[in-house]
Amino acid sequence: MRCAIVNLGGLATGDLAAPLREAEAILMEAGRISRIGTLDAATLESCDVVVDAGGTLAAPGLIDSHVHITFGDYTPRQRTVGFLESYLHGGVTTAITASEVHVPGRPKDPAGVKALALAAAACFRDYRPGGMRVHAGSVILEPGLTPEDLRELAAAGIWLAKAGFGAFPTPHDYAPLMQAARAAGMITTMHTGGSSIPGSSGIWAEHVLASHPHVSFHVNGGPVAMPEPGFVRLVKESDIALQICTAGNLRTALLTAKLLEEAGQLERLLIATDTPTGSGIMPLGMLYTMSHLASLGGMAPEIAIAAATGNNARVYRLNSGILAEGRDADVILLDACAGGACGDALSALRNGDIPAVGAVFSAGVPRFVGRSRNTPATIRDVRVAACRLPMDFSAAAH
């Protein structure tokens, strides 16, 4: 499929090093971005679909790196069907599992936790709710697992390992398995903060430093944050990516961003939601946290966008998250508000408002243009300008 977006009002790249770029149009082919800049009439004529952005802002599809996947588009925690597709309407084109810990009666023996990770990954290999990419299958580290088990899982395609819910005597006991998972080539993640489910324990800075995961999950609390001196330790004593989540503590989310900015290490800041949980389902959660950073934390809104996109992509080794030639064609169009008379999307974030998501492109395919079920989409003339495909762009297409 060849798809073009024209009449852009701005472009946020998701790249922390160059977060804004001048461009009038984006060309997407075979699921990748092939050109950014200007497009001539012949190129537009050759497209299957041309979408008029109506002066809105193009940004990378948001990457929520902390979603509690189970099986299918269903969460037993909130007894809700279709939550992932709802997140797509909030601009999230990629969801990364925080482990399948919410599966009812989840196994805890070595064979069971291995089987759970393999089954979850397999179920989402070809299943894309509403077009969203879902990276499922994170092995939950439990006593009895061995380095050989982790190597076996890695060979079978499991690339995520999670510490925090295992039945270890103390959180320090995760360290050997975390190091073995890293050695096997996995991205390692660790619960940070107070206990969130029965049987688990609080995990503080000293435990995270001992295990040295790639990502300190919801460092601002899930929902209870660690003692404040721990934030300084994680920033100064490690290179661990620090993930702040909508379902956590807002004050320490702002503190984390401030400490990383002062250290000149904002590439370590990741935005996610940590949902569905007791905090609920948050289709607009990523946008809320971005607006909090920009309006309350004084962060440039294009940097907040990068923390929700390119930073996650770099840590999780994804080809999405940055608008550049050769990257995955996951793109969203953002407007200041549904009426189109409130300024631009970057100003909306700076003011603490939630931009309207006018269109979502996943792997270069338009998933909705105009009004959506869950988000008041822009009315500033975002439309399909030319379409020769029998597809309904008013709803998410599979």
Which pLDDT tens digit goes with each residue over 181-226?
Answer: 999 999 999 999 987 666 667 899 999 999 999 999 999 997 899 9
What pLDDT score was predicted for residue 367?
80
Q: Which of 110-114, 201-205, 313-317 has the lowest mean pLDDT?
A: 201-205
The amino acid that residue 378 corresponds to is T
Which pair of structure tokens corresponds to residue 181?
Answer: 């998972």
Q: What percent of the chain has pLDDT over 90?
A: 80
- Is it the case that residue 298 has pLDDT exceeding 80? yes
The pLDDT value given to residue 375: 38
Asked whether the whole model's pTM tops 0.85, one would answer yes
Using 50, 70 and 90 to split pLDDT, how confident is the model at 23?
very high
Residues 6+ apart with CB under 8 A from 63: 92, 93, 94, 96, 308, 309, 312, 313, 316, 318, 320, 321
State the burial class of residue 104 (Cβ atoms within 10 Å of its Cβ: 0-12, 13-18, 19+).
Answer: exposed
Mention every residue, 6+ apart, whose C-beta is less than 8 A from residue 261: 299
Q: How confident is the model at residue 89 (pLDDT cuts 50, 70, 90)?
A: confident
More confident residue, 200 or 252: 252
Answer whether residue 36 shows pLDDT above 90.
yes
Among all chains, which residue has been given the structure tokens 């709803």?
Answer: 395
Residues contacting 298, CB < 8 A, separation 6+? none
pLDDT number for residue 354: 92
Residue 29 in this model has a pLDDT that exceeds 70:
yes
Q: Is 370 helix (H, G, I), strand (E, B) or coil?
A: coil
Q: What percent of the chain has pLDDT above 70?
A: 89
pLDDT class of 398 with cuts at 50, 70, 90: very low
CA distance 303 to 369: 26
**Residue 338, pLDDT score:** 52
Q: Which two tokens stand for residue 78?
A: 């909130």
